[in-house]
Amino acid sequence: MIKFILKRLGISFLVLLGGSLLMFYLTVSSGDPLQDYYESNDPNRDQIIASITQRLMLDQPWIARYWDWLTGVAGCIGPGVCDLGQNINGVEVGSLLGNAAVSTLRLVTLATVLAILVGITVGIVTAIRQYSGFDYVVTFLTFLFFSLPVFWAAVLLKEFGAIRYNDWIADPQISSVQAIVIGVVLAVILQAVLGGSWRRRLVTAGVTAVFVFAALTYFTSVGWWRAPALGIGIVAVVAIAAAVGLTAIFAGLGNRRVLYSTLTTVGVGLVAYYAVGPLLAEPNLLILLLLLAITIVVSLASGYFWGGYSSRRTAMGLSAVTGVIMGLLILLDRIVYAWAGFLGLKSRPISTIGSNTPNFRGDYWETILDNGTQLLLPTVLLTLISIASYSRYTRASMLETMNQDFVRTARSKGLSERVVIVKHAFRNALIPITTIVAFDFAALIGGAVITETVFGWKGMGELFRTGLDAVDPAPVMAFFLVTGLAAIVMNMLADIAYAFLDPRIRR
């Protein structure tokens, strides 16, 4: 395996080297960076031209300029000084790249994680319920999202997800007619997802419509939209549902040891809801990471205690996941509670431009809300586009795997459908999906150029675009360097995941 990884690293290095050479040549050949200065009437024109010529080495052949850039980059991975060059204005590209990479990777990483979780889940459900009404609806929506022009979808999100929402939140009201319509729409969707006989579908739709109507009416009457809160009750219900659901999917409710282990983790989390309250009043990143580590340790201990000899590994894994979900719910409760104060500082909470609010003065949780609302629209856009591909590939891979001989053999041995799907079909179906994840991450960074332009983000997209417009190779090459390294790292992680999913690959 180590030999295979080293070989892949060598090949990836050669590909990156050749790609950087081609990118540099295309950039410097796309125009003249001094064109605007030749037509300028500025009295200092000649001095400016001479300065830019010296800074960008315009009096040298392009291959000499490329070698100068390459030796500067080599200092970043070996002995020497890391030098990514200067842009046309004399600013160090390294400092620009640091801020831009953090902004873009924050956006792309979150969008990728959400797309994987939602897309794979939807793909599995549609594969299990092939040719159902739910499958047809999801197929239509995925092709719609996949074919949407990014810039047009971004404009729609800004209009309905930001401008109109900001107008509504100033005086949030949901009439009885609107509540009924929302309840009916959600009822139709949920009964289609859950399926079953017509009687079961009608019961599901009726209960959903009544519940949604009652909840929306209650929230509007008490002013919940501007001063929301979850509370220990909602946190407990969601956490218990997650514990029971994870156990049912991955271990089966008949495995009492695993069920008791996840429920014990939820119980400890409910105690921690009050115990860590003072620490979460005004925390920092170090405190949150420490609490996360404690959560995982306690969850693993619960799984170890309850699991016994036969189920210990499963119990520890599911308890750890349940503990993380419980911790996220507690943090979500704090963030939701801070919404009222956030609206007092920022009356129009969803921004359409920029990655943060200049001169924002709020506490820790209000700052989290500010960063989150700035991240919301571009993340939703990139996630919707990626969900389409993930769900279709997952569906196709699951259908192909479920028709294999080993799956039929597993069914003939009397294994439950849950075991057949989770432990046999799904694991083998993940192998081609892993390849898509590796390529999609790097592709999202490239696609973020348009998204960041529409939403006014100061990220890698702007760095690439401004460098290309100015025929300035240093920012363009910095963008290529991050994107290329991301592609190499993600492909290497995919290779390691292959070995984990299919032990035959390790040989």
Considering the domain architecture, whether residues 234 and 341 belong to the same structural domain is answered as yes
Question: How far, in Å, CA of 118 to CA of 385, rounded?
Answer: 12
pLDDT for 268: 94
Domain boundary among 346, 363, 384: 346
Question: How far, in Å, CA of 216 to CA of 212, rounded?
Answer: 6
Residue 364 CB neighbour total at 10 angstroms: 17
Considering the domain architecture, whether residues 316 and 267 belong to the same structural domain is answered as yes
Considering the domain architecture, whether residues 201 and 256 belong to the same structural domain is answered as no
Considering the domain architecture, whether residues 216 and 233 belong to the same structural domain is answered as no
193 domain-assigned: yes
330 domain-assigned: yes
319 domain-assigned: yes
187 domain-assigned: yes
Q: Could you tell me the pLDDT band of residue 504, with boundaries at 50, 70 and 90?
A: low
Q: Which positions ≥6 away from 438 have C-beta within 8 Å? A: 487, 490, 491, 493, 494
304 domain-assigned: yes
Chain mean pLDDT for the chain? 86
Q: Which positions ≥6 away from 463 have C-beta within 8 Å? A: 96, 97, 100, 475, 478, 479
118 domain-assigned: no
- Statement: residue 179 has pLDDT above 90: yes
- The residue written with tokens 């170890």 in the block is 304
Considering the domain architecture, whether residues 287 and 263 belong to the same structural domain is answered as yes
Q: Retrieve residue 344's tokens.
A: 């007092």
Percent of the chain surpassing pLDDT 70 = 97
Question: How far, in Å, CA of 421 to CA of 259, rounded?
Answer: 20
- Statement: residue 124 has pLDDT above 60: yes
CA separation, residue 283 to residues 15, 174, 276, 363 (Å): 45, 35, 10, 10
Range of 193's domain? 173-222
Considering the domain architecture, whether residues 342 and 232 belong to the same structural domain is answered as yes
pLDDT for 80: 63
| Cα 349–Cα 382–Cα 374 angle in degrees, nearest 5 | 20
422-437 tens-digit pLDDT: 888 887 888 778 878 7
Residue 212 CB neighbour total at 10 angstroms: 19
Pairwise pLDDT comparison (418 vs 339), residue with the higher score: 339
14 domain-assigned: no
413 domain-assigned: no
Considering the domain architecture, whether residues 317 and 287 belong to the same structural domain is answered as yes
260-311 tens-digit pLDDT: 999 999 999 999 999 998 889 889 889 999 999 999 999 999 999 998 877 8
Domain boundary among 165, 190, 222: 222
pLDDT for 320: 95
Considering the domain architecture, whether residues 241 and 299 belong to the same structural domain is answered as yes
368-390 tens-digit pLDDT: 999 888 888 888 888 888 888 88
Considering the domain architecture, whether residues 251 and 202 belong to the same structural domain is answered as no
**What is the rounded average pLDDT of the residues 329-357?**
89
**Amino acid letter, residue 219:** F
Question: How far, in Å, CA of 26 to CA of 17, rounded?
Answer: 14
Domain boundary among 304, 320, 346: 346
Buried residues in 16-47 as b, exposed as e (16+ CB within 10 A): beeebeebbeebbeeeebbeebeeeeeeeeee
Considering the domain architecture, whether residues 337 and 277 belong to the same structural domain is answered as yes
Largest CA distance in the chain: 87
Considering the domain architecture, whether residues 234 and 296 belong to the same structural domain is answered as yes
Statement: the pTM of the whole predicted model exceeds 0.85: no
Q: How many folded domains does the chain comprise?
A: 2
Considering the domain architecture, whether residues 200 and 251 belong to the same structural domain is answered as no
Query: Using an 8 Å Cβ cutoff, are 440 and 112 in contact?
Result: yes
- Statement: residue 27 has pLDDT above 80: yes
